[in-house]
Structure 1
Amino acid sequence: MRSIAIVTDSSAALPADFFAEATASGGLAQVDLPVSIAGQPLESLSSAEIDAAIVTAHVQGEQVTTSGASPGELIEVYERLASQGYAGIISIHLSGALSGTCDAARVAADMVQLPVAVIDSENLAMALGQVVMNLYRFTENTDDLETAVEVAEDLCAAVKLFFFIPTLDALKRGGRVAPALAMVAQMFQIRPVATVLDGKLIYLERPRTTPKAIERLTELTLDFSAEQAKGSHRFAAGVPAPTGRVVAVHYCGNLLQAQEFQRSLGEPAKDAELLPLPPVLSAHSGLGALAAVVY
C-alpha cells in the first residue's frame, strides 16, 4: 500500500478515467470548489447538469460565482486519509493568487496529526491536473514525503497553460476584472490571449478578432512546445520528463472549435485529452474559451 496520499481540488480537470482508477485504487482525494448561479448553489446537480446550467447562465448574462474549499472540508479529507493508514499527504491546489483554497489547506494542515505538505501549484486546469497525475504515480513507489514534495515543485515548474477568452463579460460579472477594463475590451473588441505566470493571469496579446486570437494561441503553444522538447528539465528517477507534448485542450461550450484547434496544433497535440473546463473555471471564462496545456 502506498504511504503518501494526494489531495487536490476540482479545478484540476482530471480526466475521468484516471480519476476513477485512482480513487478506486486509493491515495487520491479531490475537494469540490462550489459554483453558484445568481446566488443558488449547484452542488445538488450532476456534472452534466452543472455544465449545462453554466452555459445557460452565460447565454442569459447571469452572474456565476465560485468559492474555495473550507478548512473544515479539508480537515475531514485529511482525517479520512489518516484513518485509512496513510502516513503523509501532499495537498496541491490551484493558484493561491486566484483562490483561497491553499490558505484553507494550510489552516487545515495545522489541525491534523499526520504531516500534510501544502503546495501552491501556481496554475489551474490540467496544468494542475498533469502535475497531480505524475505525482500520484511517483508516490506509488516512495514513502519519502520530502522527496515527493520536491518532485511536485519541479513538476509545477515544467508545465505551461495558454488560453484564449473571447470576452471579459463573465469575469466582470463574477467580480474577477474591473468593469472599466471589461468595457474597454468590449469597445475595442479585444480577445485576450494569456498564460499563468507565478500564479497570476498574464495577458500576452490582445488580438481584435477571434481567428487572430486562436492563431496566436496556436503559435504561442507550439513555440513553447518546441522549447520544452529540447529537454532542459531533469527529474528524479521514475518521473516522466517533459517532452513538449500538448497534454490537454480545454474548451467551454465550443467542442467543435476545440477539435479544430487541436488539429491545428498538429503532431504535438495528437494524443491530447480534449476536456471541458471544470465548472469552477468555466464559471469565469465564459463561452468560447480555449486553452492548451504543454508538458
Structure 2
Amino acid sequence: MTLGREPRTRVAVVTDSAAGLAPCVTKEWIQTGGFACISLPLMIGDQIYTDSDDPGVQERLVVATAEGRRMTTSRPSPGAFTSVYESLATQGYEHIVSVHLSAELSGTVDSARSSARQASVPVSVIDSRSAAMGQGFAVAAARDAARAGAAPAEVEKAALHACDIAHMLFYVPNLDALAKSGRIPKSLAVVGQMFQIRPIATIAEGKLKYLERPRQEAAAIKRMVELVLDEAERTIAEDTRISGLPSGRAVVAIQDFYGRPLAELLSERVRTRFGEAAQVMRSTVPPVLAVHAGLGPVCAVSVPSSLVPGLSPTGR
C-alpha cells in the first residue's frame, strides 16, 4: 500500500441509445465492464419497441414511413435507470456518470435525475446538449477517463469538454418527418417541398438549428461536403493545440439512416483530403432520431483524437 495516495473511486458510465454508438462498440464496452446503454422506447402505431439497436426496428421504420403510419418516441422510465444504476452499484462501482440526450429534445435527462436521487451510489447526470455522436463522443471521453482511473469530477469534466468541442452537422433530405413530429411548423415543410429545400442543421444550445437552407439536392450535397471538410480541418488544428504534437488528428463520425450514398461520399472525401490525420467512423443515425428526421438523414461530427483515445487506432 502506498502511503498518502487517495484510494481510487471506481466510476461507471451510462448513456442512452440516442448516442448512436455502433452496436459492436456498445457490446464491447458493456462486456469490458463499467458501462451501460439504456434504450429509448419508440412507438410505431400501437407497438412499443425498446431495443433500438435491433435491425428489425430499422426495417419497420422504413415500412411505417412509406405507409404514413404514426411514429413517436418517449423517455425511458425512471425504473429503467434505477435498474441499471443499482446493477452497476452491486458490481462495485462507487460513482456513476450518466450522459444523455439533450433535455431540449427529450425528457430522458429528467428520468435519469429522478432515479439518481434515489440511487445507492452518487450519480452525476450530464445533459449533453446534443444527440447522435455529438453525445456519443462525450460518452467515449467519459469512459476513457473512468478507465484511466480519473476521479468522478474529472470524468464529468471530460464529458463536458467533449460536449463543448464536438460540432454536429446534420443533413435532412426533406422536412416532412420533422413537421409530423412537431419539430418544425407544417407550413415550413410545405414551403420546403415547394422550393426543394434541403436544410443543413446543427444542434446549438441543445436545440435543432438550421445553418443553411440550400435549394436542390446537388447544391445541398456540395455544401455539406464543404462544411464537413472545413470542420475536420478545424478539429485537426485543435488537436495539434491540445496534444502539443507537430500534427493533430481528428476522429470523424459519419452516421446515416438510409442515406448511404452521401455518407459514403463524405467518408471518401475526408479520407482523401486528410489521409491518416482523420479517422472515419461509420454508424447508423439512431432510430429514435430517425423517427423525427425521416429517411435519408446524414450526420457528421468531428472531435480531436486526443479527447477520445479509446476510439483512436493509435490509442494516443
TM-score scaled to structure 2, two decimals?
Answer: 0.85
Judging changes above 3 Å, is the alpha-carbon distance between structure 1 residues 45 and 177 closer, same or farther for their aligned structure 2 residues? closer
Match of 2:268 in 1: 263
Asked if the contact 2:232–2:252 (Cα under 8 Å) also holds between the matched residues in 1, the reply is no
SS in 2 for 1:274: strand
Asked if the contact 2:239–2:249 (Cα under 8 Å) also holds between the matched residues in 1, the reply is no
CA distance in 2, matches of 1:44, 1:215: 35
Match of 2:45 in 1: 38
Judging changes above 3 Å, is the alpha-carbon distance between structure 1 residues 93 and 132 closer, same or farther for their aligned structure 2 residues? same
Match of 1:71 in 2: 78
Asked if the contact 1:93–1:128 (Cα under 8 Å) also holds between the matched residues in 2, the reply is yes
The counterpart of 1:56, out of the listed 63, 79, 83, is 63
Match of 2:90 in 1: 83
Match of 2:159 in 1: 152
Asked if the contact 1:163–1:292 (Cα under 8 Å) also holds between the matched residues in 2, the reply is yes
The counterpart of 1:21, out of the listed 24, 28, 37, is 28
The Cα shift of 1:91 comes to: 0.4
The Cα shift of 1:46 comes to: 7.0
Judging changes above 3 Å, is the alpha-carbon distance between structure 1 residues 89 and 271 closer, same or farther for their aligned structure 2 residues? same
The C-alpha deviation readout for 1:102-143, integer Å capped at 9, x for no partner, is 111111111112110010111111121122122212211225
Asked if the contact 1:22–1:28 (Cα under 8 Å) also holds between the matched residues in 2, the reply is yes
Asked if the contact 1:34–1:42 (Cα under 8 Å) also holds between the matched residues in 2, the reply is yes
The Cα shift of 1:244 comes to: 6.0
CA distance in 1, matches of 2:134, 2:51: 28
Match of 1:136 in 2: 143
Match of 1:272 in 2: 280
Moved more, 25-34 or 219-228: 219-228
Task: After TM superposition, list the pairs within 5 Å mapping 1:115-134 onto structure 2.
Answer: 115-134=122-141
Moved more, 30-39 or 134-143: 134-143
CA distance in 1, matches of 2:207, 2:260: 26
Judging changes above 3 Å, is the alpha-carbon distance between structure 1 residues 117 and 262 closer, same or farther for their aligned structure 2 residues? same
Asked if the contact 2:23–2:53 (Cα under 8 Å) also holds between the matched residues in 1, the reply is no
Moved more, 6-15 or 52-61: 52-61
The Cα shift of 1:6 comes to: 0.4
Opposite residue 199 of structure 1, the aligned amino acid is G
Moved more, 33-42 or 5-14: 33-42
Asked if the contact 2:9–2:95 (Cα under 8 Å) also holds between the matched residues in 1, the reply is no
Judging changes above 3 Å, is the alpha-carbon distance between structure 1 residues 107 and 177 closer, same or farther for their aligned structure 2 residues? same
Asked if the contact 2:9–2:151 (Cα under 8 Å) also holds between the matched residues in 1, the reply is no
The C-alpha deviation readout for 1:140-182, integer Å capped at 9, x for no partner, is 1225111211121111111111011011111122222221222
Judging changes above 3 Å, is the alpha-carbon distance between structure 1 residues 42 and 113 closer, same or farther for their aligned structure 2 residues? closer
Match of 2:172 in 1: 165
The Cα shift of 1:267 comes to: 3.6
Kindly indicate whether residue 201 of structure 2 is the aligned counterpart of residue 194 of structure 1: yes
Unaligned runs of 5+ in 1: none
SS in 2 for 1:149: helix
Kindly indicate whether residue 260 of structure 2 is the aligned counterpart of residue 252 of structure 1: no
The Cα shift of 1:2 comes to: 7.4
Unaligned runs of 5+ in 2: 1-7, 304-316
CA distance in 1, matches of 2:296, 2:98: 31
SS in 2 for 1:36: strand
The Cα shift of 1:224 comes to: 2.0
Asked if the contact 1:165–1:192 (Cα under 8 Å) also holds between the matched residues in 2, the reply is yes
Opposite residue 282 of structure 2, the aligned amino acid is L
TM-score scaled to structure 1, two decimals?
Answer: 0.91
CA distance in 2, matches of 1:28, 1:202: 31
Judging changes above 3 Å, is the alpha-carbon distance between structure 1 residues 39 and 244 closer, same or farther for their aligned structure 2 residues? farther
CA distance in 2, matches of 1:221, 1:44: 31
| Aligned-residue RMSD, C-alpha | 2.4
The counterpart of 1:290, out of the listed 293, 298, 308, is 298
CA distance in 1, matches of 2:129, 2:241: 20
Asked if the contact 2:134–2:166 (Cα under 8 Å) also holds between the matched residues in 1, the reply is yes
Asked if the contact 1:158–1:233 (Cα under 8 Å) also holds between the matched residues in 2, the reply is no
How many percent of aligned residue pairs carry the same amino acid? 37
Asked if the contact 1:244–1:268 (Cα under 8 Å) also holds between the matched residues in 2, the reply is no
Flag the structure with more relative contact order, 1 or 2, with Cα contacts below 8 A and sequence separation at least 6.
Answer: 1
Moved more, 270-279 or 28-37: 270-279
